[in-house]
Amino acid sequence: MSEELRYERTLQATTTDIPGLVVFDLPVHGDNRGWFKENWQRAKEVALGLPDFGPVQNNISFNATRGTTRGIHAEPWDKYISVATGAIFGAWVDLREGPTFGAVHTQVIRPDQAIFVPRGVGNAFQTLEDATAYSYLVNDHWSADKLDQYSFVNLADETLAIDWPIPLEQAELSDKDRNHPKLADAKPVTGRTTLVLGANGQLGRALKAEYGGQAVYADRTVIDMTSDTIATDYDWSNVGVIINAAAYTNVDGAETLEGRRAAWQINVNAVCQLVDIARTHHATLVNISSDYVFDGIIPVHDENEPVSPLGVYGQTKAAADQIVATLPAHYTIRTSWVIGDGNNFVKTMWNLAKKGVKPSVVNDQHGRLTFTTTLAAGIHHLIDTHAAHGTYNITNSGPVQSWADIAKTVYEAVGANPDDVTPVSTADYYKNKTGIAPRPEHSTLTLDRVQSTGLSIPTAATALSEYVSQDWGNR
């Protein structure tokens, strides 16, 4: 055992110049019999910043002689590296696309330390003692289908300038490692993709505008949310974020036999599959929820309120919320009264105003509009800022209104008389109509949590003014 092994260290994490590459000091307890350590302690190390990376395999490389050198390899998985016996000089090179491509970190690792190596960071080591056992946890299995996602760089590359303790001409290397390309010719590791489901819906279109070429978009022809085999219908291996903007949203239709089955299939069964897919591939799942998970008795709803849905649609969304919550890396986004590029309440009122129609609109349902531009920007913000996972309300801000209030505002904005809108109660509006789902009276969602992440949210009035100023005649 090396004299440099340090006992009774405090467990702590130290970041490096390579983003995501984190060194952990490990407590080692020794006596006359030898030593003991907790090599990987999920709960404690996650609390210190270790990603909850979900290892599926533990590998050990035994190296008989000092000077054995392996690398530099970057694979499409994360690694947690430690030493069981002996010592290594480790070298890590960022091979991911981006501004830190080619960044290098080197250090000696003994049994009292470990290092987390994120996907796309090249890894190499040289043994400093005979009989060194190098151990690593990985969160994916090797597959020939993933070879195109691997990247390599030469151990002797001059631009990396790695100061190997034992000169490479004296070290034990494989021919393959000696012949890896120089950094200038190395293939950068591309980032994992963001996949948007429901790409042709109101939110899907806004996400396209928000993300542009930074995401991949799938409509029902690519991923059918009524399928029971979503996991095998698509290659999920390189997907890092799944944004589920697909849903069954026909609130009244969900009360019918056919609609009820479709709502549960798309809003619950498909989401169950997405949760399993995200867990298997270590992806983050963003799922869109609704104010309809609440009965609307309380005037304002926060993220901690227990769900209490009134109708089938709300029940499916509430069920999905509970399922998604079992996944550590998730964002449940609760929203209300969504307005975007497509058929919606505001566009309907705009058309009625232009035609001179004098509608009756309910005035005893209260909430705030959510414009899909605001919603898409909020989702992007949470992901990019690595906000704490969990449930977030996202709507536009400003005063609480009724549907009748909003209708009057739309009429006024397009030059019609707001008094042409007649406020009525929900009971009167639906009198003598059948198959109508119950609606929550209060749909207002608190915004404190999402605003605490630094998200700036436009008022509904500002967003509505911009929305109705568009060239609707061409829509």
Beta carbons within 8 Å of 43's beta carbon, 6+ residues apart: none
Q: Measured on CA atoms in the order 156, 162, 167, 170, is the torsion positive or negative?
A: negative
Task: State which H helix or E strand residue 424 sits in.
Answer: strand 422-424
Interacting residues of 61 by C-beta distance below 8 A, sequence separation 6+: 70, 133, 134, 135, 136
Active site residue 330: no
Task: Write out the two tokens for 405.
Answer: 């209030």
Phi (first) and psi of residue 133, to 5 degrees = -105, 115
First to last CA, the chain: 75
Active-site annotation holds for 134: no
Which is the catalytic residue, given 80, 134, 136, 331? 136
Give the whole-angstrom CA distance, residue 119 versus residue 191. 9
Cα separation, 21 vs 13, in Å, equals 10
How far apart, in Å, are the Cα atoms of 287 and each of 277, 330, 430?
13, 8, 31
Annotated catalytic residue within 73, 180, 366, 380: 73
Query: Amino acid identity, residue 27?
Result: P
* SS3 of residue 16 by DSSP: coil
218 touches 230 (CB < 8 A): no
Residues 375 and 161: their CA atoms lie apart, in Å, by 47
Give the helix/strand (H/E) hosting 371.
strand 370-371
Which residues are identified as catalytic? 73, 136
